[in-house]
Amino acid sequence: MFYIQCKMRKVLTYLLLIASFQAAYSQISPTTRIFAIKDTSYLFELDRNMTYHDTMSLKIWNKGGEATISLSQISFTNWSAGGENSVSGIGNLYAYANRRKGKNTWDNNLNIVYGLLSQGGDVRKTDDRIDFISHFNRFIRNEWYYSLMIHFKTQILPGYDYPNDSVIISNFMAPAYVLTTMGVEFRPSKKLKLTIAPLSGKITIVADQNLANKGAFGVIQGTLDEVGEFFETLGKNFKYEFGAFAKFIYSGKLTDNLRLNSKVDLFTAYNKSFGNIDVDWQMEAKIKLTEVISINVLTQLIYDDDIKSEINNDGEVLEGAKVQFKEMIGFGLTFVF
């Protein structure tokens, strides 16, 4: 009998505890129950109005992208003011695969751009980019994250010193840049990101030996023989730099139909050139007219002390680095996938 009474007391105690917990839990609104169960502040894109069951449907992987084609054409017939017929086009492919799980986020972005201009029977490229970024973050607290990033960029086809289309001044993997960074990232909102990476490495690759022999893009140039016909030592194909890196990103809608994306990359090496900052500032404004038709405005500003504006055949620098600027306005079609 005594044994049965003890068992009954334990059962009653458990029932009271369960009832107390249920009463306390029922006082929490459905939109905040998830946060009572577990701190999910590290999910910076998590909607605060989500319930616990809503979050169960969140995808670990989020994949997609968009393709944009912009075309322009101008034609003249008996035009007294003069002019030349031209056709131009540019294609832009953007794809992403992002992973969210626990405190970890892993973002992968690929951007490929290529453009051509045909004018007077002459065809030239107007843009040529391959840009891949893989970025891993782990939540620390509030809006701060640990940050690891790998950034690779190069081009697809050779670039020429127009109007002389027989002199190649760039090529696939010449140059190519591989940037690895380690630091922290600050995300005060969904639109803003700031990365600070005091431990960063930058590799400049010049796979085209002719360009490497001239010391293009900052690699060590080759040395000619006494006659000046052959290279006794070939130019280096790689340049290694250790330094500090910072990135600022803004991406958001200014109006319902206008979206602005701006990205600034800054790098300086820990050597005698410390303080000479490499700058790459890209900005895109997209005006959405319909579901598939949009107006795109693209600008890019580059300053790299290693890219000299004029080098002779002996690799001698005739003129130093300059600010590079590119601007494009296009009317095109966008397909989301």
Domains, the chain, ranges and CATH? Answer: 59-336 (2.40.230)
pLDDT recorded at residue 222: 94
Q: What is the pLDDT of residues 27-78, one digit of tens each?
A: 444 333 333 333 333 333 444 444 444 444 567 899 999 999 998 888 888 8
Is 320 or 83 the better-scoring residue by pLDDT? 83
215-247: burial string, b at 16+ Cβ within 10 Å, e else: bbbbbebbebeeeeeebeeebbbebebebbbbb
Q: Is the pLDDT of residue 116 over 80?
A: yes
pLDDT recorded at residue 18: 47
Res. 287 pLDDT band, cuts 50 70 90:
very high
What is the pLDDT averaged over residues 245-266?
96
pLDDT recorded at residue 144: 96
What is the pLDDT averaged over residues 246-272?
96
Most confidently modeled range among 14-18, 223-227, 298-302:
298-302
What is the pLDDT averaged over residues 117-132?
93
Q: Are 261 and 288 in contact (CB under 8 A)?
A: no
pTM: predicted TM-score of the whole model, two decimal places? 0.79
| Token output for 12 | 């009653």
pLDDT recorded at residue 9: 54
What is the pLDDT averaged over residues 297-310?
86
| Residue 334 neighbours by CB distance under 10 Å | 19
What is the pLDDT averaged over residues 226-245?
92
* Cα distance from N-terminal residue to C-terminal residue, the chain: 71
Cα 15 to the center of its chain, rounded Å: 56
Q: Is the pLDDT of residue 280 over 70?
A: yes
Rounded to 5 degrees, what are φ and ψ at 60? Answer: -70, -40
| Cβ-Cβ contacts under 8 Å for 54 (sequence gap 6 or more) | 47
What sections of 110-173 are H helices per DSSP?
none
Q: Is the pLDDT of residue 156 over 50?
A: yes
User: Rounded mean pLDDT of the chain?
Assistant: 83
Q: Is the pLDDT of residue 270 over 70?
A: yes
Question: How many whole angstroms separate alpha carbon 304 and alpha carbon 307?
Answer: 6
Q: What is the pLDDT of residues 167-197, one digit of tens each?
A: 999 999 999 999 999 999 999 998 999 999 9
Tokens 């049965």 belong to: 4
pLDDT recorded at residue 318: 59
Res. 117 pLDDT band, cuts 50 70 90:
very high
| Percent helix, percent strand, percent coil in the chain, to nearest 5 | 10, 55, 30
| Parallel, antiparallel or unpaired: strands 324-336 and 61-74 | antiparallel
| Cβ-Cβ contacts under 8 Å for 290 (sequence gap 6 or more) | none
pLDDT recorded at residue 310: 64
Q: 6-20, 28-42, 163-177, 248-262: lowest mean pLDDT where?
A: 28-42
